[in-house]
Amino acid sequence: MIRAALVLLLLVHPAGAEVMSSVVAPPQEGSVIREDGLAAWDRVHAVVSHPRCANCHVGADNVPMWSGPEYPQTGPHGMNIDAGDSRIGAETLPCTTCHVTSSAPANGPNDAPAAMIDWQLAPVEMIWFGQSSAQICAQMSDPARNGGRDWIQLAEHLRDDAAHGGFVAWGFAPGGGRQPAPGDLQSHIDDVLKWGAAGQPCPG
Amino acid sequence: MELTVNRQRHQIDAEAGMPLLWVLRDILGLTGTKYGCGIAQCGACTVHIDGVAVRSCQIALADVGGEVTTIEGLGTPDAPHPVQQAWIDHQVAQCGYCQSGQIMSAAAMLALQGEPDDAQIDRIMSANLCRCATYPRIRAAIHDAARRLATG
Amino acid sequence: MSRAGRIARRGFLVGSVAIAGGVAFGAWRYTRPLPDPFAKGLSPGTDALNPYVLIDASGITLIAPRADKGQGARWIQAALIAEELDIDPAGARIEPGPVSKTYYNTALLQENLPIDPTDTGWLAQTLRAGSDVPARLLGLQITGGSSSVPDGFEKLRSAGAVARETLKQAAAMREGLSRADLRTGDGNVILPDGQRIPYTELAAEAASIVPVQDVVLRAPSQWRILGKPVQRADIVAKSTGTQRYGIDLAFDGMLYASVRAAPAGSSVAKVEAAAAKGMRGVHSIVPIRDGIAVVADNTWRAMQALQAITIDWAFPDLPGDQQAVWDGLTAALDTAQIDSRPREIGDVENALAAGAVIEAEYRVPFLAHAPLEPMNATVRITDSQCEIWTGTQIPDFVVAKVAALTGLGEDSIQVHNQMIGGSFGRRLELDFILQAVQIAQSVPGRPVKMIWSREEDFAHDQPRPAQIARGRGRVANGQIVALDLAIATPSVTASWFGRVWRALPGPDATITAGAGDQPLAIPNYRVTGHRADEVFPVSSWRSVGASGNGFLHGCFLDELFAAADLDPLQGMIDLCSHDVSRRVLNELREISGWTGRAAGQGRGRGVAFCLSFGVPCAQVVDVADTAKGMRITRAFAVADIGTVLDPVNAQAQLSGGMLFGLGHAMNCELTYRDHVPEQTNFHEYQAMRLHQAPEITVRLLENGPLRGLGEPGVPPAAPALANAIFAATGQRIRELPLSRKVRFV
């Protein structure tokens, strides 16, 4: 029911990030077999490695990426952008100079992406861009590198970010004709939970 | 909606989603802020909101959470801001269309950065496009302005 | 010198007429008067005149008819007048003046004659001297081809000098003195006792006397303004947001509009506009020729409403993809039919047959002009009059086409030329102005300001054409023995003239410009132009034909130097057959500290030369292959423009031209798919930005004829960069943009 409502919401408002509601309903720990957990991880990986997500989950050079079908070739963000160690451009050019914080982000074609929270890079330890599925899986399973979260808290983080119109919501509804991350928010949360309930198995 | 621009308060009757750029240009008549691309690629529309550089083509009227300063509010022909004076002394402008945005970006940077080196200038100013490619003079003018601001 | 001799030398006369409360000075030529742009404001019976100086009680106005798009034309025209008039140009009004066929551009037409630019022989000079006849017939008030300075150099200074001497004569008659005893300074006639009479007080008296014709123009050593580093008049306004461009105009009761037009050659098939009609601020939805406009109470609302309109285009039954362009260029090269062969020395075929032939194929892409001020025009039209406020390089053609469109007489159409936020050739087109006129016709009496979105600009540029060229060459005994270059491209001149006026017959010199006219004494040397059919309309882009040909020719020449194991700079100096050009190359060697291509591991130096628009320009580019990508580390440019009238601006033009060339060579192309360019805005067309711009050392020489510098800085940049990348990496890149093969920082 909720999922159906969400799909409807996406159809009505195809452009721009927005407040997205979702539920975290964790299965019993251990109730998901490893094989299903790995299958769920593959779907999670398809989301987090998608350019809508990975372009801003970059390493210690603090340079966001331009990649995906919208760009003729993969490369660093144009205009010599460097978000600095602050990861928000405080030392250089604030991300929010172009990626404005908006109460109702509604991207037109080619507008700079915007969300309801201040635009920024993900913390450096959460690097996804250019990483293998196994590497990202290891990072997301490691509380020292995932913001100190267990698998349920990871799902809650996704829910809460989206409820505030943050980057998770934006990734699934980026507007401006951009290709969204595959699937939808609720499926993504459900997959994270399945993967967690299976004991966070990683490929390889 | 209420909007403060160059220390003047205005009541604006417009859609919440109208970009600040068009409020400035078509409603308030402040045409020093330029339309160049509409998608935050050229920087010609740069203004300050509470001192921070913002592309006015991207921010909706309803999201302007602070006081706006435009190129007209930074300085005037009779009393130019030190960055504008450096731009005049170095005769940076060719067609001049991007220079309001260049100057606003440089002024915001210099308010925070002290005396930046070339690499810092490159990181901060490469998001402002100049089709005439006045870049060598932009660099020189920023160094000059930084020295002037540092010595007060 | 006799009066007749003076007239023949100058080719024009300076005269004056009375205007309300003052006097106008200007130039005309030939016996038959040309149309008088101020006729309506002049008293009856006055002769036709092409005014450059207006003086009345309110002050001095200088008329600068060539459009200013950032190259400083308005200022230099005013400075040329003011130098002789003895006024401070910063204190005068500088206005573009009305459209008039009297402001024709002789220099531009000379440039397009089939004469070698270095040829100073009798025949070439005679042809050049005669070129003002067709120019007058065409009545071209055109800004372009780096022609504003050469065209105005004598006309404008003469107008200033005649005005000065006539004002002195008026003062002499009033005071009972001899003109020879009087001096002038800062807008005053100065009497022997030091008393100063402002020009403005003498204007009415000056209008009533015969203008003084026997003036001698001042020698450069006497100049106060020209040749000196002065502050351009528009610099303060352009640094404080107070410069008004066409896009900034506002009038009482003005409406705003924006447009979506069909791709070139297409038309509107179906429009769904219901959703736009009720949107806030929307005044009307106006069908125009091959497009739809929305008129609203501000620009954004017009653009928003346009986005809510669904339009289906009817595409022509013609190829609409990039591949069709490449196929057409290849076919043009394969045909025996040639457009022109401006260079044919020795026996190329025999020379090539004598040994191993070096062959290469080069390609350059379409390039958009994309000046930063989007196309715009403000128009107010009534039953009897049409006023147009816009920035244009071709006001005459505007008037003619608007007359045809509206049925109004040409006298009823006024063009108020505006300061232009960049052009690079885009403002040589009429499309946006004609759209604005059609929109204004739907709201008679009300001014309408039409602004294109940037997306509309990319969708409707008439770009620099794509080209393919085949080079064949042979080297022997450490020398280039033969160079044969065949270039295929559609004709920019035919495409453009067809749009703005009517097609001109004959070969198009721009097809080979920058390649077929280079002063190199290669013993067997041939350059051939093949005209390809135009798949998409094309236009002049800064430096026109030389923009692409400079790359093809400059790179292939470098290949031959490398094959002959010659240093490319020394090789060019040795082959150079033009003294002014050779001095440019020598100066470049000096300032760049050139010792060869090699510059250490992962580094390289490239050099290129191109003579375009009569200006020899040579450039060196240094690159370093770094972990973050290829970086241009330094650049050097030398050009000879004969006389440097505005040194601060001339350096900016040379530096800017070179960076413009480098930026597009690195990053830019326009590619077509389904009849429209795939690139829609600057995120897909990243030209030069600050972090990619090297420091440039520029040097201007003054050995050749007086020339303008808006364009000649562009052509050598791309080949110098590609040659530097070869020096650094061993990789020959024969296709632009270079980013297809190289990652730049």
Note the pLDDT tens digit of each residue in A49-93.
Answer: 999 999 999 999 999 999 999 888 899 999 999 999 999 999 889
Contacts of C681 in chain B (CB under 8 A): 37-39, 41
Nearest residue of C to residue B20, measured between CA atoms: C300
Crossing angle for the helix pair C148-175 and C199-207, to the nearest 10 degrees: 90
pLDDT exceeds cutoff 70 at A189: yes
Give the burial class of A4: count Cβ atoms within 10 A of its Cβ; 0-12 exposed, 13-18 middle, 19 or more buried: exposed
The token pair that represents C186 in the structure block = 């800062």
C326, amino acid identity: W
Q: Are residues B49 and B99 in the same domain?
A: no
Domain that holds residue B54: 2-72
Contacts of B75 in chain C (CB under 8 A): 240
Residue C560: phi and psi, rounded to 5, are -70, -40
Q: Are residues B91 and B143 in the same domain?
A: yes
**Residue B16 belongs to a domain with what CATH number?**
3.10.20.30
| Mean pLDDT confidence for C299-308 | 97
Contacts of A109 in chain C (CB under 8 A): 455, 680
Partner-chain residue, chosen from B38, B98, B135, that has the shortest CB–CB distance to C454: B38
Residues A22/A186, Cβ–Cβ less than 8 Å = yes
pLDDT exceeds cutoff 90 at C3: no
Final residue of a domain: which of B17, B37, B72? B72
DSSP 8-state assignment for residue C544: T
Q: Are residues B54 and B97 in the same domain?
A: no
Q: Which helix (H) or strand (E) holds C411?
A: none
pLDDT value of residue C49: 58
HSE at residue A147, side-chain half, CA atoms within 13 A, is 14
Q: Are residues B68 and B88 in the same domain?
A: no
Contact call for C680 and A109, based on CB within 8 A:
yes
Q: CA Rg, chain B, in Å?
A: 15
Does the residue B77 lie in any domain? no
Q: Which residue has the higher pLDDT, A126 or C27?
A: A126
| Mean pLDDT confidence for C275-298 | 97
* Chains in contact with A, counting 3 or more C-beta pairs less than 8 Å apart as contact: B, C
Whole-Å CA distances, C102 to C28, C118, C197, C264, C293: 7, 29, 32, 34, 35
Note the pLDDT tens digit of each residue in C31-51.
Answer: 334 444 444 444 333 334 567
CA C672 to chain CA centroid, nearest Å: 25
Mean of all residue pLDDT scores within chain C: 89
State whether residue B103 sits within 8 Å of chain C by CB.
yes
Residue C100: band (very low, low, confident or very high) from pLDDT cuts 50, 70, 90: low
Contacts of B71 in chain C (CB under 8 A): 240-241
pLDDT exceeds cutoff 60 at A104: yes
Mean of all residue pLDDT scores within chain A: 90
End-to-end, the C-alpha distance of chain B in Å comes to: 37
Q: Are residues B47 and B103 in the same domain?
A: no
Does the residue B58 lie in any domain? yes
pLDDT value of residue C502: 76
- Candidates A145, A146, A156, A142; CA nearest to A188 is A156
pLDDT value of residue A8: 34
Contact call for C248 and B132, based on CB within 8 A:
no
Q: Are residues B128 and B68 in the same domain?
A: no
Three-class SS of residue C205? helix
Q: Are residues B54 and B107 in the same domain?
A: no
Sign of the CA dihedral running A31, A34, A35, A40:
positive
- Candidates C678, C637, C634, C685; CA nearest to C663 is C685
pLDDT exceeds cutoff 60 at A12: no
Does the residue B105 lie in any domain? yes
Contact call for C680 and A80, based on CB within 8 A:
no
Number of domains in chain B: 2
Contact call for B123 and A80, based on CB within 8 A:
yes
Task: Give the integer Cα–Cα distance in Å for C195 and C203.
Answer: 17
Residue window 283-322, chain C: list those with CB within 8 Å of chain A.
307
Residue C125: band (very low, low, confident or very high) from pLDDT cuts 50, 70, 90: very low
Residue C129: band (very low, low, confident or very high) from pLDDT cuts 50, 70, 90: very low
**pTM given for the model:** 0.92
State whether residue B38 sits within 8 Å of chain C by CB.
yes
Whole-Å CA distances, C516 to C342, C505, C560: 5, 20, 17
Residue C506: band (very low, low, confident or very high) from pLDDT cuts 50, 70, 90: confident
Nearest residue of C to residue A66, measured between CA atoms: C683
pLDDT exceeds cutoff 90 at B134: yes
Nearest residue of C to residue B43, measured between CA atoms: C372
CA torsion C22-C26-C29-C31 (nearest 10°) is 0
Contact call for A110 and C680, based on CB within 8 A:
yes
A–C CB contacts, 8 A cutoff, strictly below: 16
pLDDT value of residue C403: 97
* Chains in contact with C, counting 3 or more C-beta pairs less than 8 Å apart as contact: A, B
Length of chain C: 745
- Candidates C461, C426, C329, C391; CA nearest to C66 is C391
The token pair that represents C177 in the structure block = 């003195």
Task: Give the integer Cα–Cα distance in Å for A122 and C635.
Answer: 39
Whole-Å CA distances, C505 to C34, C332, C508: 26, 19, 9
ipTM attached to this prediction: 0.98
Q: How far is C685 from chain A (nearest CA, A)?
A: 11
pLDDT exceeds cutoff 60 at C113: no
Final residue of a domain: which of B41, B72, B103? B72
**Residue B119 belongs to a domain with what CATH number?**
1.10.150.120
DSSP per-residue codes, chain B: -EEEETTEEEE--S-TTSBHHHIIIIIS--TTS--S-SSSSS-TTEEEETTEEEETTTSBGGG--S-EE-HHHH--SSS--HHHHHHHHTT--SS-TTHHHHHHHHHHHHHHHSS--HHHHHHHHTTS--TT--HHHHHHHHHHHHHHHHT-
Q: Are residues B67 and B86 in the same domain?
A: no
Final residue of a domain: which of B72, B96, B122? B72
Q: Are residues B62 and B89 in the same domain?
A: no
Whole-number percent of chain A with pLDDT over 70: 92
Partner-chain residue, chosen from B21, B29, B42, that has the shortest CB–CB distance to C372: B42
Least confident segment among A137-151, B47-61, C137-151: C137-151
Does the residue B101 lie in any domain? yes
Three-class SS of residue C377? strand
Contact call for A75 and C743, based on CB within 8 A:
yes
Contact call for C372 and B31, based on CB within 8 A:
no
Residues A100/B57, Cβ–Cβ less than 8 Å = no
Q: Are residues B94 and B117 in the same domain?
A: yes
Residue A6: band (very low, low, confident or very high) from pLDDT cuts 50, 70, 90: very low
Q: Are residues B58 and B86 in the same domain?
A: no
pLDDT value of residue C143: 63
pLDDT value of residue C243: 97
Note the pLDDT tens digit of each residue in C419-459.
Answer: 999 999 999 999 999 999 999 999 999 999 999 999 999 99
| Mean pLDDT confidence for A168-183 | 93
Residue C65: band (very low, low, confident or very high) from pLDDT cuts 50, 70, 90: confident
Contacts of A110 in chain C (CB under 8 A): 455, 680-681, 683
The token pair that represents B152 in the structure block = 């007060």
Whole-number percent of chain C with pLDDT over 90: 76
Contact call for A102 and B63, based on CB within 8 A:
yes
State whether residue A109 sits within 8 Å of chain C by CB.
yes
Residue C145: phi and psi, rounded to 5, are 65, 25
Task: Give the integer Cα–Cα distance in Å for A35 and C625.
Answer: 47
Residue B145: band (very low, low, confident or very high) from pLDDT cuts 50, 70, 90: very high
Residues B106/B127, Cβ–Cβ less than 8 Å = no
Residue C484: band (very low, low, confident or very high) from pLDDT cuts 50, 70, 90: very high
pLDDT exceeds cutoff 60 at C131: no
pLDDT exceeds cutoff 50 at C163: yes
Hey, what domains does chain C have and what are their CATH numbers?
3-239 (3.30.365.10), 246-316+375-451 (3.30.365.10), 338-368+462-740 (3.30.365.10)
HSE at residue A39, side-chain half, CA atoms within 13 A, is 6
Q: How far is C406 from chain A (nearest CA, A)?
A: 36
Q: How far is B25 from chain C (nearest CA, A)?
A: 8
Nearest residue of B to residue A114, measured between CA atoms: B58
Q: Are residues B96 and B139 in the same domain?
A: yes
Task: Give the integer Cα–Cα distance in Å for C53 and C86.
Answer: 12
Contacts of B95 in chain C (CB under 8 A): 69-70, 371-373, 420-423
Contacts of B136 in chain C (CB under 8 A): 655, 659, 693, 695-696
